[in-house]
């Protein structure tokens, strides 16, 4: 059984999608704990309703980013996770943290990296006039929104899109690809060589994983 530790800051929609996929596909994966840096994160209630241990490490109670990360490292290492999953975790992590969990730390970013790093990615895409937008699952490095890419999904940008409407379509794709990319990584289907992801076509358990997916309006 593979163990996950999930870090959240907000409503927990990607956490909920992950839990649903694990149950639906019967993957040998368990979410061992959910940790939030915000006491009122909605995702904590989702975890508690499933009987998953939760913890709050409030970043406002620490003197600096390094002190917070050190506390987080201590709690995570006690759980011995095979993978640390960032699911809407709105904190920049130190280089030391990223190095400690190298190749065991995964994130989903709401753009087709390397385009539109940082925040407000959907408005960035609209302002840039691109026709295609989406999301990216990647291993985390110390560089912001950077690292070997596990999966991407694309949606069209419509002429009348608002950031909110575009975000809703991208979020649906996040819920599709993030759980499967996590499962493919844990199964050994995906490996990393020279900072590039290799898809070996099969792993220790079936995932139905495809590294690139299109929204139905692009298919």
From 109, 133, 175, 215, active-site residue: 109
Among 64, 80, 22, smallest CA distance to 47 is for 22
- Catalytic residue flag (residue 109): yes
Q: Point out the residues that are catalytic.
A: 109
């Amino acid at each position: 059984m593979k163990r996950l530790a999930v870090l959240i800051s907000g409503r927990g929609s990607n956490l909920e999608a992950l839990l649903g996929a694990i149950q639906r596909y019967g993957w040998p994966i368990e979410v061992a704990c959910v940790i939030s840096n915000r006491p009122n994160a909605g995702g904590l209630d989702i975890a508690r309703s499933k009987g998953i241990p939760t913890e709050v490490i409030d970043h406002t109670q620490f003197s600096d980013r390094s002190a917070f990360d050190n506390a987080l490292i201590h709690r995570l290492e006690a759980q011995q996770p095979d993978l640390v999953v960032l699911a809407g975790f709105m904190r920049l992590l130190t280089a030391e943290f990223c190095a400690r969990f190298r190749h065991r730390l995964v994130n989903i970013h709401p753009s087709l990296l390397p385009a539109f790093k940082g925040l407000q990615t959907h408005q960035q895409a609209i302002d840039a006039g691109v026709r295609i937008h989406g999301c990216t699952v990647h291993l985390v490095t110390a560089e912001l929104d950077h690292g070997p890419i596990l999966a991407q999904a694309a949606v069209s940008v419509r002429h009348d899109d608002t950031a909110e409407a575009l975000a809703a379509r991208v979020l649906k794709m996040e819920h599709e690809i993030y759980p499967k990319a996590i499962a493919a990584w844990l199964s050994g289907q995906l490996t990393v060589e020279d900072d590039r992801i290799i898809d070996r076509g099969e792993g220790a358990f079936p995932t139905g994983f495809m590294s690139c997916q299109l929204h139905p309006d692009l298919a």
